[in-house]
Amino acid sequence: MSPILRRQTWSQMTATERDALCQRGLAEIFNSDLRESIGSLIEDVRVRGDQAVCDALQKFDGITISPSQLRVSADEIAAASIDPALENAIIDAISHLRAFNDQLLERSGDWQMEIENGLIAGEKVSPISSVGLFVPSGKASYPSVAYQLGVPAVVARVPNIVLVVPPIPGGNGEVDPAVLVICRLLGITQVFRINGPAGIAALGFGTESIPKVRKVVGPGSPAVTLAQVEMQRHGLATMMLLGPTESLVVADDTAHVGRLASDLLIEAEHGTDSSVVLVCTSRDIIDAVENELQIQIGDLPANRAEACRASLGDNGGAILVTSLTEAIEVANVYAPEHCQVAVSAQHEEMVVDGIINAGEILIGQHTPFSAGNFVIGVPASLPTSGFAHVSSGITVNAFLKHTAIAKANETALRRMAPTVIALSDHEGFPAHGNAIRRRFPE
């Protein structure tokens, strides 16, 4: 039986090998041929609007609809029905997400301070004017993404929320009813069935049927991710990057091997473009995890097993480290979308404190990635491809903007006058200085 885990030792890896480990997804996302194809599609949508969107749906998804059918009707949303157990699960997840994002909103409120006598400065926090939520539907259906994106936008009180989702593969244009139930629960009424990259372009430009928005968020394939990047040139704000999923687990010799294997398979089963890494201080644990993976992967359908082998093989694997300090170094260099810490209780705090580059950190083996993805309430749409170095997951903060506010009285302005004049004279802006000189002539 062929090994599942690609094995490497951090101290023996060259700079090139370390860099290759961290480059996951970027080459495919920014492939020149894909970029040319997406560029042509974007221009087509800009020029031909709805019809180009329908043509893209037919070409890439094999689904034929007319422009009048792009919008999911209010009747379809109202009539959407799912298994009660699934609806209860969705309601449970939404309640956790609301609680988490309500708390964030409360912590992100307006504020002000007196910087000096007579000078007040602060911020006013308000929602962005509009947003497009992209919910993927290709390799699988992802209603969890709908509420992971929708709840923060609703909590932020974004006045214009548009949700786009590709129809169910092989159907006649039907949208996953679970996504529609979520829209009904959240009060999202503008819902469109669109192919991913074309949908991103349509949201950025606006078409005859699809309203233009100022920002788009949502994970997806390399094509969807590249479409978001390319649309920034047309003034559409996006999150960087929400591409193929990835996870990293830091473990020591106290970790439960069966749970380690199970948790590695969570993100690994997403697709052959996913990346999953086990960073471990024990060669024996890595050996045992390999044996357990061989067993557990046999419980998966062929397509999921294939994805797991790719994610844990060429795309990821096991990294043997000499210490937890070195494990922290690996995690921070890799900057994973999802990170789990499975170490002894006495070292847990040290490891969590040390990891600063991660979309999320789930602590302990009772906090698997699947719980984070579906119900805990923390964000699950997180930066991939190393962008956890510089960005965060999608929460209510992604839908808020901060406007600076200041007020000075005459005393404060007189006190600041020499500073303004000195700097305006140095930078060559006489009107800046004159505005002060004319107020306070000598």
- Active-site residue list: 337-338
- Residue owning tokens 């290709």: 138
* Element containing residue 37 per DSSP (H, E): helix 32-48
Q: What are 275's strand-pairing partners?
A: 246
HSE of 98, CA atoms in CB hemisphere, 13 A? 10
* Rounded distance between C-alpha atoms, residue 185 and residue 151, angstroms: 10
What's the rounded Cα separation, in Å, for the pair 145 and 136? 8
Which tokens hold the place of 214?
A: 């100022």
Residues 6+ apart with CB under 8 A from 408: 118, 119, 120, 416
Positions of E strands within 349-421: 360-363, 400-408
Beta strands in 349-399 (DSSP E): 360-363
- Closest of 292, 351, 307, 347 to residue 327, by C-alpha: 351
Helices 15-22 and 324-334: crossing angle in degrees, nearest 10, is 60
**Rounded distance between C-alpha atoms, residue 234 and residue 105, angstroms:** 30
User: Could you tell me whether strands 130-134 and 246-251 are parallel, antiparallel, or unpaired per DSSP bridges?
Assistant: unpaired
| CB neighbour list of residue 171: distance below 8 Å, 6 or more residues apart | 63
Separation of alpha carbons 149 and 132, rounded Å: 10
CB neighbourhood size of 87 (10 A):
16
247 with 276: CB under 8 angstroms?
Answer: yes
